Structure 1
Amino acid sequence: MQTGATSQGNVLSVLRSLSPRARLFLWAMALTRLTGFMVFPFLTVILSQQLGASIVEIGSLFTVAAFVGLGTSPVAGFIADRISKKFLMQLGVGLTIASLLAMGLIREISVYYGAIILMSVAGGMLEPLLRSTLGELAETDAQRPALFHLRYYMVNIAGAIGPVLGLWFIQTQSPAVFFIAAASFVFLAGVIHFKQPKLPTPADPLNAPVRRNIWVSVLGHRMFVALFVANFLLVFIYAQTDEPLTFHMIDRGVPDIAGIVTVLTVTNTVVVLVLHGLFMNRIMAMGEGLAFRVAIGCLCLSLVLIAANGAHLLWIWIAAIAISTLGEIIAMPMFLTIVDRIAPAENRNAYFGIYMLSNTGGALAPFLAASLITGFGGTTLFIGAALCCIPLAVVGAIALRHTTQTPETESTDAPL
């Protein structure tokens, strides 16, 4: 990782070093994640226990929604590189607000299905543009890695509080949680409108040859392609500790699933807060090859623990989530930092949008996991996921070998 980022200091000193605009963006993004954690971890429980959907139906819904959102991301990135991206960001926020209000006002399964799909479209618009905006708020190149780590850290602070607050709303079946989440996105809309960095608008918007040249540039970038494939595998394997684990609990008839989901979500976040907060500098300074090996080892071990937990002991699930979180702390910000480092300034939004397609691995996970659990059981699923760490280690090694190249030796137009 870029050692220059470590000179920014610990979490508090990094935050103080930012401009007021950057801090406001970070707080707005963290607030929407806070309210999101009050809603999203419990959607599986709401659909299953309150609206009567099966785990296969839920898995299919989440898979379709994820693919719709992923397909939106590169389109949004292409458009944002050709025209002002503020309109696209505001449109994404507006769609999210409408979806949250619909779920709060109408308790019908068809409305929830439509709202979840619509939120995926909105998320596909917002996520790559918010990430590229974060890079634009950096005052120096050395500050970019620190910004991504700080964003990651603040999002997880929200994750520590959100599920605890959301649990009461879910248990009482109160729709107020959806209205609170909608209000947080209204605040984000205001921040985007008044604090969006002003960048020059390209003179040749939406030109078809330009779009084709972007694809040539991306596909010819060896580092980016290898990183894309590695992240695809990483996200697919890591996603097994999310909805698939909940499906596994539902299939086994584990009691108080909502409470367990809350404990595991908070476990994930607390580990991030403690380890990332205390050792952020050391993690950022860790060599990328070593960091990746540690991350994959943690992920594999966590899946083996889940597979071996036939007695449904809570402490084993907690230990597995804590270990997998160690890998998450290292790998996720590291990959985003590399993308931000290698993306050309004139195509930054498009690169982030295309990179979002690598999350297809996570989009496949709910449906495949639900099908495998139904047919073969959760133990088979998690053992198979652990074995998938082997090809991930191979592809990741190839990707990180390219990151050691200098800008002079890594051409964005070089053939694969």
Structure 2
Amino acid sequence: MLTTLKNYPAAIKLLLSASFVLTLARAITLPYLVIYLSSSFGLSVADIGLVIGSTLIIGSLLSLYGGFLVDKMSSYRLILGFSVAFTLGFLGTFFARDLWLFYGCLVLINLAYAVIEIAVKSGFGSLLAVNDRSEVFSIKYTLTNVGYAVGPFLGAGLAKLDIGLPFLLSAGLGAGFCGVYFFRGNTGVTAIDAAQQPAPFLAVGKLLLKDYRLVCFTLGGLLTAVVFGQFTAYLSQYLVVTTTPETTYQIISAVVATNALMVIALQYAIGRRISQRHLNLWLAAGLSLFMAGVAGFALSTTLLLWVLSMAIFTVGEIIVFPAEYMFIDRIAPDHLRGMYYGAQNLSNLGAALGPVLCGIVLASYPPPFIFYMLALFIVAGGVFYFLGASHSKKATG
């Protein structure tokens, strides 16, 4: 992977660094939001869940317009502008003393992060040949997981000194990236010719709704994101109900470490082999492994079984993520690439809904029922994936 990185042009390296640095900044503070909201604003657990979940949902919905801007503006101006917004959002969380201001800053952070991610993916499509994109998507996802693995440890060290310091470090990382990108960014990347300027936002939205393949894949992504988007949250909910707090902490720590280490070790090796030609088979394999992992969770009675189940689940995640990117990349017109990736980004809604739905099931039915529900979401998501993929095959055939 390091050899491949060295051979990439500077523009690709900057896009990858944007994804890594801003993910690291986000990961530094994300684990401490619950504690911070509780200690600083006196919120209950239910209110904290509402704040975190709703800011993620609002940011994801607004990022659809961000995808429209990716198609309309130069990548340089967009990434620089939203990097500044990302930095200001974290500065605001450090200084905010009113909940409404803190809430607004969280929305700004989630929105800026989502739009930059869309711009990064769109940039890959503009700068690399089709056969090279699956490899760069795998590198990006590996770096993202490195950020999520390292970030909480940095945040933990600072939080011991002062619980607000992780937000300040995140702002510093954002500011540092802004400075580098201001001087090193390519001002010409993905600028759209006047002849290719997209129609107004609502007109483009209607056009996207008519793309059967995109609608199916967006729904498939949203449904499967319920399963893998926030797996630590629903597994914690399940374990708190079925075991002791000490056992819950032990198992969650082990599965999170397993997930992070496997993604870092295997994502590039597996992801770079995923090709457009056999996309349906790769998706089938990934979803099957999700199903096997969820079944393993339902049957796990020891720490070893939890770790093995997470290992299987993680390989499914390693396959499905690049496969999603490759499918959207295949069907997206060059001048609407940002909007297509923005639509794909709506899968975050599924990630936000996962813990909510699992909480409802745990409150109403025996605990194992959450795994039946998750299995249904995998099947439903798979149906939409294959409907979209089949239609795409007919369209290109």
TM-score bracket relative to the smaller structure: 0.7 to 0.9
Paired residue for 2:236? 246
What secondary structure sits across from 1:92 in the alignment? helix
1:397 paired to 2:397: no
Higher relative contact order, chain-length normalized (CA < 8 Å, sep 6+): 1
2:295 paired residue among 288, 304, 307: 304
Paired residue for 2:122? 132
1:145: how far off? Answer: 2.1
Paired residue for 1:288? 279
Contact 1:26 1:151 in 2 (8 A): yes
Please show how residues 363-402 of structure 1 align to structure 2 within 5 Å. Answer: 363-376=352-365, 378-402=367-391
Task: Output the CA distance in 2 between the equivalents of 1:53 and 1:308.
Answer: 35
Q: Report Cα offsets for 1:336-372 as digits up to 9, x if no partner.
A: 1221222111112122222222332223223333333
1:16 paired to 2:11: no
What secondary structure sits across from 2:246 in the alignment? coil
What secondary structure sits across from 2:130 in the alignment? coil
TM-score, normalisation: structure 1: 0.82
Contact 2:93 2:105 in 1 (8 A): yes
TM-score, normalisation: structure 2: 0.85
Contact 2:65 2:201 in 1 (8 A): no
1:121 paired residue among 76, 96, 111: 111
Contact 1:25 1:191 in 2 (8 A): no
Distance 1:240 1:405, change over 3 A: same
Distance 1:49 1:305, change over 3 A: farther
Please show how residues 116-265 of structure 1 align to structure 2 within 5 Å. Answer: 116-138=106-128, 140-170=129-159, 173-194=162-183, 195-198=185-188, 199-203=190-194, 210-250=200-240, 254-255=245-246, 261-265=252-256
Task: Output the CA distance in 2 between the equivalents of 1:260 and 1:98.
Answer: 36
Paired residue for 1:38? 28
Paired residue for 1:329? 318
What is the root-mean-square deviation in Å for CA atoms of aligned residues?
Answer: 3.2
What secondary structure sits across from 1:404 in the alignment? helix
Q: Report Cα offsets for 1:14-42 as digits up to 9, x if no partner.
A: 21321122113312321222232222134
Distance 1:114 1:244, change over 3 A: farther
What secondary structure sits across from 1:142 in the alignment? helix
Q: Report Cα offsets for 1:147-178 as digits up to 9, x if no partner.
A: 21211122222233223333333455543322
Unpaired runs of 5+ residues, structure 2, are: none
Q: Is 106-115 or 291-300 further displaced after alignment?
A: 106-115
Distance 1:203 1:404, change over 3 A: closer
Question: Structure 1 counterpart of 2:142, which letter?
Answer: Y
Paired residue for 2:345? 356
Question: Structure 2 counterpart of 1:177, which letter?
Answer: P
Question: Structure 2 counterpart of 1:126, which letter?
Answer: I
Q: Is 350-359 or 274-283 further displaced after alignment?
A: 274-283
Paired residue for 1:4? none
What secondary structure sits across from 1:369 in the alignment? helix
1:344 paired to 2:333: yes
Distance 1:316 1:111, change over 3 A: farther
Unpaired runs of 5+ residues, structure 1, are: 1-10, 410-416
What secondary structure sits across from 1:388 in the alignment? helix
1:401: how far off? Answer: 1.9
Contact 1:295 1:330 in 2 (8 A): yes
Task: Output the CA distance in 2 between the equivalents of 1:115 and 1:148.
Answer: 29
1:29 paired residue among 8, 19, 31: 19
Task: Output the CA distance in 1 between the equivalents of 2:158 and 2:253.
Answer: 13
Q: Report Cα offsets for 1:304-341 as digits up to 9, x if no partner.
A: 333344x6x54444333322211110011111122122
1:241: how far off? Answer: 1.0
Contact 1:70 1:359 in 2 (8 A): yes
Question: Structure 2 counterpart of 1:185, which letter?
Answer: G
Question: Structure 2 counterpart of 1:136, which letter?
Answer: S
Task: Output the CA distance in 2 between the equivalents of 1:193 and 1:203.
Answer: 24
Question: Sequence identity, in percent?
Answer: 23
Contact 2:118 2:338 in 1 (8 A): yes
Contact 2:70 2:78 in 1 (8 A): yes
Paired residue for 1:275? 266
Question: Structure 1 counterpart of 2:141, which letter?
Answer: Y
Distance 1:351 1:283, change over 3 A: closer
